[in-house]
């Protein structure tokens, strides 16, 4: 299934305060996690419900093609990127029935980031494993990264390790340091006020 991110259909695709780049900058904490397709595991949890997927389990789920723009809070935007992966809804449904209100995503480099469940479950939110027709390069968060095009790019956790579904919001790495709990680029939700 082909998913076109709704924000790519705006007349002005560039959110306020952003400028366009050609190459996607590499931005992360600088820890280099030892993770690849062979040792990859993704844990899903909600209270005491838990499921673990390896790379093959993940890529056996229905595949989606995503076309989206990326907006980093440091003001660069990359327009028109192509990814493949699994819809976040597909993965969420593996734990069904649950009624979580928030998500905290964790990564193999110690990173984490939170968001409301409705952003996590948007049609263009995916768990990605391919970028521009190839495996996601390690420096861009491969083998598997989260992609939440409706929010600033810090919500798109690279080297994804765990998705915790929760009822009460819990802050991730940048959110604990003052960044916004939602982070909609078109509303310029950069820092908490």
Ligand X SMILES: Nc1nc2c(c(=O)[nH]1)N[C@H]1C(S)=C(S)[C@@H](COP(=O)(O)O)O[C@H]1N2
The residues that touch ligand X, with contacts defined as CB under 6 A, are 24-29, 72, 107, 109, 111, 140-141, 153-154, 156-159
| Residue 28, contacted partner among Mo ion, ligand X, none, CB below 5-8 A by kind | ligand X
Q: What are the residues facing 3 on neighbouring strands? A: 66
Residue 70 in contact with Mo ion, rule: CB under 5 A: no
| Residue 4, contacted partner among ligand X, Mo ion, none, CB below 5-8 A by kind | none
Q: Which of 31, 33, 18 minimizes the C-alpha distance to 108? A: 33
Give least dist CB 148 to Mo ion, A. Answer: 12
Q: Which long-range contacts (CB under 8 A, 24 or more apart) does 128-132 make?
A: 128/66, 128/83, 128/84, 128/85, 129/55, 129/58, 129/59, 129/84, 129/85, 129/86, 130/83, 130/84, 130/85, 131/81, 131/82, 131/83, 132/81, 132/82
Give least dist CB 167 to ligand X, A. Answer: 24
Residue 72 in contact with Mo ion, rule: CB under 5 A: yes
Give least dist CB 154 to ligand X, A. Answer: 4
Determine which residue in the list 140, 154, 173, 179 makes contact with Mo ion, applying CB under 5 A: 154
Which residues make up the interface to Mo ion (CB under 5 A)?
Answer: 72-73, 154
């Amino acid at each position: 299934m082909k998913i076109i991110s709704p924000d790519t259909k705006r007349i002005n695709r560039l959110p306020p305060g952003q400028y366009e780049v050609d190459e996607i900058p590499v931005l992360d904490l600088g820890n280099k996690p030892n993770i690849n397709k062979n040792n990859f595991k993704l844990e899903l949890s909600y209270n005491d419900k838990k499921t673990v997927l390896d790379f093959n389990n993940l890529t056996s789920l229905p595949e989606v093609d995503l076309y989206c723009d990326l907006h980093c809070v440091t003001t660069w935007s990359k327009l028109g990127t192509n990814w493949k992966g699994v819809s976040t809804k597909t993965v969420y449904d593996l734990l069904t029935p649950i009624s979580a209100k928030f998500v905290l995503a964790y990564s193999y480099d110690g990173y984490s980031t939170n968001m409301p469940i409705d952003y996590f479950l948007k049609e263009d939110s995916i768990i990605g494993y391919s970028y521009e027709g190839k495996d996601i390069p390690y420096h861009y968060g491969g083998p598997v990264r989260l992609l939440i095009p409706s929010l600033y790019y810090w919500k798109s956790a690279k080297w994804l390790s765990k998705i915790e579904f929760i009822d009460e919001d819990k802050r991730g790495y940048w959110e604990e340091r003052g960044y916004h709990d939602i982070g909609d680029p078109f509303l310029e939700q950069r820092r908490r006020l």
